[in-house]
């Protein structure tokens, strides 16, 4: 989901050390990142930006910020909040512009030029970050201000900003002796390089892992639109007369739900399962093993027992033990449900006249049969009522209007980086301009898997900027002339990512470091998962669930089936996430000095310790394609999806108890959660809204794993 830049959250930060290559003068003079964009909301100038502009802009941006930071560190005046902390907040404007734009495009629409730029720039950004955080003069100023903070009469946001800066400097190694700082610099450079290598290898592996089918009969069970999309995907690859089923970046694949040919199912599943373990250019295992080992070394250097402890220091959970305890509470109810579900799957296989034990590639097909039998719900009956544009306009936008009073107007005059993208201007409840949002929904071979949100421009009163955000997904693009009919799971994804967008658009901070979604991993998914609940709200659902041809509302009997089916297969759904979260924690609780791991052995041992049915319910992500934890900033943080589910279900229970979908409730949530950024600690922020600490009961009840009305 969210990718932050610079010192704002210390994810991708900032020195030009050891780099002597200058950009060509002609391109440097014309570089569109040199000046602030003149488009509305300072939106990126995709009409002017060339792929060749990014790398020179990064170099110029780092050079400019390095000069700004050096001037702050060398300032002869006594350190003050304004001449040090605020000055750092103002620095790096060009680097912000290029970073935010580049990573938005790189993740969603890469090409060889951008791949090369990322490979070259990633280690330089790591060095740049180290040059800031490990600068002894700069830290001395921060330390001096921090030591006198009680006398400075700072307002709450200023006090929080100072606290965060001091934490980040210390956490980044500012207090290490020079020898250890040199070691840390080498580790950070190597880690940033490996993360880029992993991402590029995985993109190669995922593209190569797509299933190519030569016989159309092997696709029996797919509907006409899906077969047409597979033919179109083959055509795009120059494979005339064939069909291609691209992989999404999860273990299970959408087509497994309807493919009738077991050999085809097995081939598709296996292609995904082994995509990055084929001993070729896309094999990620050696990269993973080195990443895990170097992260453990970094944690030890900074005084932590393991990398998970290093990561969790500023999260809501705080410690690996707290995470492990939380996950352990979910296992008993999940395992009991998995056992019931396996029996149902086996029964469905027998009813189908087959005699085999279920394998992972069978689950989705027979789970759908169980769903139809238990709930009489056929996805082919459902999809005609979920046309993407209608869901967006009459569902996602409508719910936001009802809760928060905001409105949307499409802007076709804003340049984009791919013709599939749509842009909307967002107006606040009083009609004033609030934000700009881009939607990039369709799958491409050059797009990372999954779905996410981030900013092209972050909000800040100090900098005078309003949010420019984007939502990205990987829905199957329909064949030309066909409607984009999506599953209810895709509908939920749209609401989820838009919840992140709301968090970014409602940002109301002075300082960019504290703004919007620049919050902890185990809090950032709270607004997005909370927003998913409105997809099934009766008022919202009735407004968007209409037949794409007739406009007729979905029959109530089908609505009821969807709502009942929402609790179906929860042992599987929760189990695959728990195993991924545990696998992530296991990798990042490796102790310093442990030999480099054999990835296959380590993963198998981790699965054996899960306490869940990992044979029938495989992990959502294997180590080799776990993009979240190896390149996207979720290392020791994948549990956050479960932790924030606890928060969002508790918050929705509060809404239900106070009248549900009302402007008053929406305004309260906006004021107390969505607009607060990281201006205070997460526990007090949540308790102020909810009235007490969260617990797992609403979460388990919402999933139907314990009795009771949610």
Closest CA to 525 of 639, 434, 361: 639
Question: For residues 332 and 335, what is the distance between their CA atoms, to the nearest angstrom?
Answer: 5
The answer to whether 387 is a known catalytic residue is no
Residues in the chain: 710
* Burial 512-543, CB ≥16 within 10 A → b, else e: bbbbbbbbbbbbbbbbbbbbbbbbbbeebbeb
Q: What is the 3-state secondary structure (H, E, C) of 297-321?
A: HHHHHCCCCCHHHHHHHHCCCCCHH
Number of Cβ within a 10 Å radius of residue 487 = 16
Rg, the chain, Cα only: 25
Closest CA to 628 of 570, 598, 585, 597: 585
Q: Which two tokens stand for residue 615?
A: 């044979």
Is residue 362 within 8 Å of residue 269, measured between CB atoms? no
341, 368, 425, 497: the active-site residue = 497
CA 302, 152, 76 angle in degrees (round to 5)?
A: 75
Ramachandran angles phi, psi of 297, nearest 5°: -65, -40
Q: Which two tokens stand for residue 607?
A: 């699965």
Question: For residues 60 and 64, what is the distance between their CA atoms, to the nearest angstrom?
Answer: 6
Helix (H) or strand (E) holding 605: helix 599-608
Is residue 705 within 8 Å of residue 574, measured between CB atoms? yes
CA 333, 337, 343 angle in degrees (round to 5)?
A: 155
Number of Cβ within a 10 Å radius of residue 260 = 14
Question: For residues 375 and 371, what is the distance between their CA atoms, to the nearest angstrom?
Answer: 5
What torsion, rounded to 10 degrees, do the Cα atoms 548, 551, 555, 561 define? 30
Q: What is the DSSP letter of 121?
A: H
CA 468, 519, 38 angle in degrees (round to 5)?
A: 20
The label of the residue with tokens 């929904």 reads 441
The label of the residue with tokens 């402007």 reads 663
Closest CA to 35 of 15, 49, 22: 49
Is residue 612 within 8 Å of residue 339, measured between CB atoms? no
Q: What is the 3-state secondary structure (H, E, C) of 178-233?
A: HHHHHHHHHHHHHHHHHHHHHHHHHHHHHHHCCEEECCHHHHCCCCHHHHHHHHHH
The label of the residue with tokens 């899906």 reads 226
Q: Which two tokens stand for residue 655?
A: 């809404």
Closest CA to 4 of 453, 425, 310, 529: 453
Q: Please give the C-alpha separations between residue 275 and each of 111, 258, 457, 621, in angstroms, as whole numbers.
A: 20, 22, 35, 12
For 65-99, the DSSP string reads HHHHHHHHHT--SPP-IIIIIIHHHHS-HHHHHHH
Q: What is the DSSP letter of 395?
A: I
Residues marked active site are found at: 497
């Amino acid at each position: 989901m969210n990718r932050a830049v610079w010192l704002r959250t210390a994810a991708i930060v900032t020195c030009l050390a050891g780099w002597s290559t200058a950009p060509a003068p002609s391109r440097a003079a014309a570089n569109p990142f040199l000046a602030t964009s003149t488009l509305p909301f300072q939106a990126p100038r995709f009409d002017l930006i060339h792929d060749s502009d990014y790398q020179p802009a990064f170099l110029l941006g780092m050079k400019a910020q390095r000069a700004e930071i050096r001037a702050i560190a060398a300032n002869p005046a006594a350190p003050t909040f304004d001449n040090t902390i605020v000055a750092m907040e103002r620095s790096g404007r060009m680097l912000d512009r290029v970073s935010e734009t580049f990573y938005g495009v790189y993740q969603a629409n890469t090409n060889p030029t951008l791949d090369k730029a990322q490979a070259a720039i990633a280690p330089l950004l790591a060095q740049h970050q180290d040059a800031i955080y490990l600068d002894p003069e700069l830290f001395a100023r921060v330390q001096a201000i921090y030591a006198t903070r009680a006398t400075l009469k700072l307002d709450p946001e200023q006090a929080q900003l100072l606290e965060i800066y001091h934490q980040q400097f210390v956490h980044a190694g500012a207090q290490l002796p020079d020898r250890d700082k040199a070691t840390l610099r080498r580790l950070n450079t190597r880690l940033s390089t490996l993360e880029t290598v992993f991402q590029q290898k995985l993109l190669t592996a995922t593209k190569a892992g797509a299933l190519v089918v030569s016989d159309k009969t092997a696709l029996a069970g797919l509907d006409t639109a899906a077969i047409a999309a597979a033919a179109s995907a083959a055509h795009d690859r120059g494979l005339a007369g064939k069909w291609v089923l691209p992989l999404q970046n999860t273990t299970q694949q959408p087509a497994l739900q309807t493919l009738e040919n077991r050999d085809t199912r097995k081939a598709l599943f296996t292609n995904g399962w082994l995509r990055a373990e084929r001993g070729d250019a896309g094999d990620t295992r050696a990269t993973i093993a080195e990443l895990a080992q170097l992260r453990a070394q970094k944690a030890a250097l900074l005084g932590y027992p393991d990398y998970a402890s290093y990561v969790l220091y500023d999260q809501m959970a705080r410690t690996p033990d707290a995470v492990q305890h939380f996950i352990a509470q979910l296992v008993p109810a999940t395992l009991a449900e998995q056992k019931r579900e396996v029996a149902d799957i086996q029964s469905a296989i027998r009813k189908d006249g087959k005699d085999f034990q279920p394998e992972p590639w069978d689950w989705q097909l027979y789970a759908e049969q169980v769903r139809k039998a238990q709930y009489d719900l056929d996805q082919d009956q459902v999809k005609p009522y979920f046309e993407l544009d209608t869901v967006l306009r009459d569902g996602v936008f409508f719910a936001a209007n009802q809760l928060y009073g905001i409105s949307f107007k499409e802007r076709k005059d804003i340049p984009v980086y791919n013709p599939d993208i749509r842009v909307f201007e967002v107006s606040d409840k009083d009609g004033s301009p609030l934000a700009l949002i881009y939607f990039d929904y369709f799958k491409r071979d050059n797009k990372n898997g999954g779905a996410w949100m981030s900013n092209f421009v972050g909000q800040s009163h100090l900098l005078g900027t309003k949010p420019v955000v984007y939502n990205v997904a990987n829905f199957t693009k329909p064949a030309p002339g066909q409607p984009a009919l999506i599953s209810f799971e895709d509908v939920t994804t749209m609401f989820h990512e838009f919840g992140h967008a709301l968090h970014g658009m409602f940002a109301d901070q002075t300082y960019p470091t504290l703004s919007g979604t620049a919050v902890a991993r185990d809090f950032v998914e709270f607004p997005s998962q909370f927003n998913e609940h409105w997809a099934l709200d009766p008022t919202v659902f009735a407004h968007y669930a209409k037949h794409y041809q007739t406009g007729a509302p979905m029959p109530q009997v089908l609505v009821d089936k969807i709502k009942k089916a929402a609790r179906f297969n929860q042992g599987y759904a929760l189990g695959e996430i728990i195993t991924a979260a545990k696998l992530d924690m296991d990798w990042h609780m490796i102790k310093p000095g442990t030999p480099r791991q054999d990835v296959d052995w380590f993963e198998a041992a981790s699965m054996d310790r899960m306490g869940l049915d990992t044979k029938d319910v495989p992990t959502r992500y294997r180590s080799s394609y776990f993009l979240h934890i190896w390149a996207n900033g979720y290392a020791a943080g994948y549990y956050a999806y479960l932790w924030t589910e606890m928060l969002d279900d508790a918050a929705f229970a509060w809404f239900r108890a106070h009248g549900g979908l009302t402007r008053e409730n929406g305004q309260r949530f906006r004021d107390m959660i969505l607009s607060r950024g990281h201006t205070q600690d997460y526990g007090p922020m949540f308790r102020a809204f909810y009235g007490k600490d969260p617990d797992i009961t609403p979460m388990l009840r919402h999933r139907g794993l314990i009795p009771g009305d949610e």
